[in-house]
Amino acid sequence: MQPTEKTSPGPVVDGRPSSRKRWDTTDLSLVAVFAALIAALAIVPGIPVGPLGVPITLQTLGVMLTGVVLGPGRGTAAVLLYLAAGLIGLPVFSGFSGGFGVLAGPSAGYLIAFPPAALVAGLLARAVLRRAARFRTVLLFLACVVASLSTIHPLGVAGLMVNADLSLRDAVLVDAAYLPGDIVKNVLAALLAVSVHRAFPRLLARPRA
């Protein structure tokens, strides 16, 4: 079921003509439900993957997916809402129980990287969906890879160095252990995003004028 298009964005009330003013209730609930989706993926035990059955947690999948499905604005808002819920102490982060304590934890850098990751993935995905008619899965996969390599991994390494007191070399080694899983998750995010945009074509492809 698709929401009907909103034709009049309404008067700009406080002289701030940002996209916020045009978010209707469906946008609001997409933001909230995707924040919940990241939380659900983070707290449900990981899926065993491949012949060895090594479980991967799906928290970063949720973040990437949110970016490429909702686009930069709503995607970033959803990830920020997820972080806010975790920081006030709701148990929505993988492993740790949430609260300000995670800011001192070894994975703080990864958490801080989530909003910019969704932003970058969302910006690239929006460009892909509006311009490219073919190879969308591959292009969306590349968008996720660029987003995760430019935000999640550098900030994650920085967090490991500051909070876990690892040397740069050790931090990069620890971070590298996540790379194969990350590639799998990015492939998955791209496949899922293509399915979602096929089922709900108006989510992102239409210019939000």
Partner 1 sequence: MRGFGSTLGLYRPGEGLLYRWPLAPKAAASLGCAIAVVGWGSVPTTSTVLALALAGLLIGARQSVLQTVRMLLPAAPVLGILALHQGLSQGWVQAFVVVGGIAGCLLAARSVTLTTPLQVLLDGTASLARPFRRLGADPERFALALSIMLRSIPYLAGLFVDVREAARARGLERSPRVAVTPLVLGAVAYAHRTGEALAARGLGEHDEGDDRGQDHERVVG
* Binders in 49-88 for partner 1, by CB under 8 A: 49-50, 53, 58, 61, 65, 69, 81-82, 84-85, 88
Pair of tokens at residue 68:
């490429």
Report the nearest approach of partner 1 to the CB of residue 188 (Å).
5
CA 174: distance to chain centroid?
A: 22
**One-letter amino acid identity for 20?**
R
Report the nearest approach of partner 1 to the CB of residue 140 (Å).
14
7, 131, 169, 207: which one binds partner 1 (CB under 8 A): 7
196 binds partner 1 (CB under 8 A): yes
172, 183, 184, 208: which one binds partner 1 (CB under 8 A): 184
Pair of tokens at residue 193:
């995003």
Q: How wide is the angle at C-alpha 51 spanned by C-alphas 176 and 142, nearest 5°?
A: 45
Report the nearest approach of partner 1 to the CB of residue 116 (Å).
19
138 binds partner 1 (CB under 8 A): no
Report the nearest approach of partner 1 to the CB of residue 30 (Å).
4
100 binds partner 1 (CB under 8 A): yes
Report the nearest approach of partner 1 to the CB of residue 154 (Å).
18
Q: What is the dihedral angle through the alpha carbons of 195, 196, 202, 204, rounded to the nearest 10 degrees?
A: -100
**One-letter amino acid identity for 104?**
A
Nearer to partner 1, 137 or 150 (CB): 137
Number of residues that bind partner 1 (CB under 8 A): 83
Report the nearest approach of partner 1 to the CB of residue 67 (Å).
13
Distance CA 135, CA 145 (A): 15
47 binds partner 1 (CB under 8 A): yes
92 binds partner 1 (CB under 8 A): yes
Nearer to partner 1, 32 or 142 (CB): 32
> Which DSSP string corresponds to 60-107?
HHHHHHHHHHHHHHHHHHHHHHHHHHHHTT-S-SSSS--SGGGGGSTT
Instruction: Produce one character per residue of 80-117: b if its CB has 16 or more CB atoms within 10 Å, e if not.
Output: bbbbebbbeeeebbbebebeeebeebbbbbbbbbbbbb
